[in-house]
Structure 1
Amino acid sequence: MRQSPYLPNRPLKVAVLGSSGAVGSELLKILEQRDFPISELVLLSSERSEGKKIIWKDEELVTKKTTKEEFKNLDLVLASAGGSISKKWLSTIIDQNALLIDNSSAFRLDKNVPLIVPEVNGSEVLNHDGVIANPNCTTILLTLVLAPLNKLSTIQRVIVSTYQSVSGAGQLAMEELKLLTEQYLQGNPQKSEVLPYSLAFNLFLHNSPMLSNNYCEEEMKMVNETRKILNIADLKLSATCVRVPVLRAHSESINIEFADEVEPKDALEELKKSPGIEVIEDYKNNRFPMPNDVMGRDNVAVGRLRTDISQSHGLELWLCGDQIRKGAALNAVQIAELLIPKK
């Protein structure tokens, strides 16, 4: 364990690893918007993106190729460059007595690495040894809702279907969706080069690697990460993940079975007072959360809470959340904020 789990009580030297990607770019926006205490900001990238100029707080910064030299005297590294990159540089970061908050799946299920959603298990953030894992985007949105509802009655089983935006596949996939949609409307549909199939007026089951149990990697991330975050090792959870033609907001249809009956009105009241959640629910006008409600915003929108007519003690609901913000970059910065000593 580091001498102190907290970050130094001063403006910090911070590096964003993967600074030119979709999540990296959002990290820079959020650090500025939330006035995170920074003395120096270092933008690290691949050799391909080296030299890119980025304006941050009215200052022109230039992305640098990631080398050992660039990690000197850092306090904090916010990484969103993929698991192999995070693993490659972990020992270098630790040697500098810096903290790594990692957005890849590299360390999420490591029993010695905290997996944190601040509103859910923020108290565990101090149990780190130099690295903290940021959960998968769909898991963050899901646990943000499950945790408060678990206070009403113990959750026994969860069935979730996701409708995942193209932003989860990166900036190139977002740009390609725009291009392929335009080509489709012009009567000239083209094949995707970034994703396995075109998302123009289409959707497909998530393209992460298929596992031996016939669930894909993305679906099992939700299962295993949710169990760890909620500290329910035997939670029954099944997920079906789908990629849809939405730019940057994920949606989830969630069916929850409780130990006891939970009234929708009680669940609604619990969610209304939970941090990071807003309720959009108007049955009269059939108005519930949509991706457009949350794109570029911090809160996760929840609605259409109803009793499951197929079973006792069941509840169904719908949510939408910005994949790049709360599903990735915002959650990482919020983790770092928990480690800033209180004045």
Structure 2
Amino acid sequence: MKKYNVAILGATGAVGQEFLRLIEERHFPFAELKLLASKRSAGKIINFMGKDYTVEEATDDSFEGVQIALFAGGAASKQFAPAAVKAGAVVIDNSSAFRMDPEVPLIVPEVNPEAIKDHKGIIANPNCSTIIMMMAVKPLRDLSKIKRIVVSTYQAVSGGGKEAMAELEQQVDDIAHGKEPVANILPGAKFPKHYQIAFNLIPQIDVFYDNLYTKEEMKMVNETRKILGEPDLPVTATTVRVPVYRSHAESVNIEFEDDVTVEAARKAIDAFPGAIVKDDPSQQSYPMPLFTSGKNDVEVGRIRKDESIAHGLNLWVCGDQIRKGAALNALQIAEYMIEHDMF
């Protein structure tokens, strides 16, 4: 099998580390591996598959000879993607920098892989919550045209980074020992006010827009429309941070043009690659973040008729946002391109 020179930008972060785990797990065909990060992380040694790699500071010259550049996300994407493309690499980017660029395909490989061929050097990974929802929506859309989607998310603190995870742990420990918990991170370190996440929910992820929706909520709206190729599809979202370390959960309500039975929905989702039906109320069997963390598949359950409308279903969806919601989805894009000789 042909092997490829791979660079990981953001190699020391959560998504970068997940890239490494998945490359090993999935036997990804790499020849040379270059680990890139900020100046602050440069010089760190990462042992991967029995070999020590020195993390290099990312510069415009870092991508010479690289064929596949996996970008873990953040402000560095916009800075270095043009240089990587100029050097001949295909950039698969996990940030929001290019998602809504009409020249950049926005890809979930199980949903719209045909759009990959239109890339001009950059391919965008959707928002983690959008990816997880698409894994349940696409097989149902194949049964009937969708009239409207209403989604509420319950998003783990790991979506806010290592600092948010550490703060949740510290707050729980402080409360357990009778101390006053301190909040410095959520809903975001850059915001003037911060709230305790332990034993609490925060209905703000990212900044508010003039329409009173958050940036995270509008990402789900706009990205869903772009992935499905329906710019006018009615979608509305409410995104909430919850005191869970890892794996997002979503309540999804879908209104269809035609009737879709619970049985047909279960069958379609269970046959869809990367999705698993976990839905047996008699056995209290349903998806939960506790059991989807560290897993590749998205689980779907609580599938039931929406009795308030003619053709509606309610779903409960859980998926690991660092795996399928980020690193795995990006690596699957690269695997699809390799399989179809697109490099």
Question: Which TM bucket (shorter chain)?
Answer: over 0.9
Q: Does 1:42 align with 2:30?
A: no
**Which residue in 2 is equivalent to 1:122?**
113
SS in 1 for 2:7: strand
Q: How many residues align?
A: 334
Q: Structure 1 runs of 4+ off > 3 angstroms?
A: none
Residue pair 2:61, 2:83 contacting (<8 A) in 1 also: no
Q: How does 1:1-343 map to 2 (within 5 A)?
A: 10-82=2-74, 84-195=75-186, 196-341=194-339
Q: Tell me by how many angstroms 1:129 deviates.
A: 0.6
Mapped partners of 2:169, 2:55: distance in 1: 26
Q: Tell me by how many angstroms 1:342 deviates.
A: 5.0
Q: Which runs of 5+ in 2 are unaligned?
A: 187-193
- Encode CA deviations 1:219-254: one digit per residue, 9 max, x unaligned: 000000000101111111100000001111000001
Mapped partners of 1:63, 1:181: distance in 2: 34
Q: Tell me by how many angstroms 1:279 deviates.
A: 1.0
Mapped partners of 2:27, 2:71: distance in 1: 19
CA RMSD of aligned residues (A): 1.3
SS in 1 for 2:248: strand
Mapped partners of 1:184, 1:49: distance in 2: 33
SS in 1 for 2:178: coil
Q: Tell me by how many angstroms 1:39 deviates.
A: 1.2
Mapped partners of 2:340, 2:135: distance in 1: 24
Q: Tell me by how many angstroms 1:54 deviates.
A: 1.3
Mapped partners of 1:45, 1:53: distance in 2: 12
Residue pair 1:125, 1:338 contacting (<8 A) in 2 also: no
Residue pair 1:137, 1:328 contacting (<8 A) in 2 also: yes
- Encode CA deviations 1:267-299: one digit per residue, 9 max, x unaligned: 111111000011111111332111112100000
Residue pair 1:162, 1:240 contacting (<8 A) in 2 also: yes
Judge which range, 169-178 or 109-118, deviates more: 169-178
**Which residue in 1 is equivalent to 2:191?**
none
SS in 1 for 2:111: helix
Mapped partners of 1:53, 1:189: distance in 2: 38
TM-score by length of structure 1 reads 0.95
**Which residue in 1 is equivalent to 2:190?**
none
Change (3 A) 1:176 1:306: same
Mapped partners of 1:42, 1:92: distance in 2: 15
Q: Tell me by how many angstroms 1:341 deviates.
A: 4.3
Letter matched to residue 17 of structure 2:
S
TM-score by length of structure 2 reads 0.95
Q: Tell me by how many angstroms 1:207 deviates.
A: 3.0
Residue pair 2:15, 2:327 contacting (<8 A) in 1 also: yes
SS in 1 for 2:207: coil
Q: Tell me by how many angstroms 1:309 deviates.
A: 1.2
Mapped partners of 2:83, 2:94: distance in 1: 17
Q: Tell me by how many angstroms 1:68 deviates.
A: 2.4
Q: Tell me by how many angstroms 1:260 deviates.
A: 1.3
Residue pair 2:105, 2:115 contacting (<8 A) in 1 also: yes
**Which residue in 2 is equivalent to 1:4?**
none
Mapped partners of 1:342, 1:224: distance in 2: 28
SS in 2 for 1:233: coil
Mapped partners of 1:329, 1:139: distance in 2: 14
SS in 2 for 1:100: strand
Letter matched to residue 55 of structure 1:
N
Mapped partners of 1:183, 1:78: distance in 2: 38
Q: Tell me by how many angstroms 1:63 deviates.
A: 1.2
Mapped partners of 2:244, 2:216: distance in 1: 18
Residue pair 2:205, 2:239 contacting (<8 A) in 1 also: no
Percent identity reads: 47
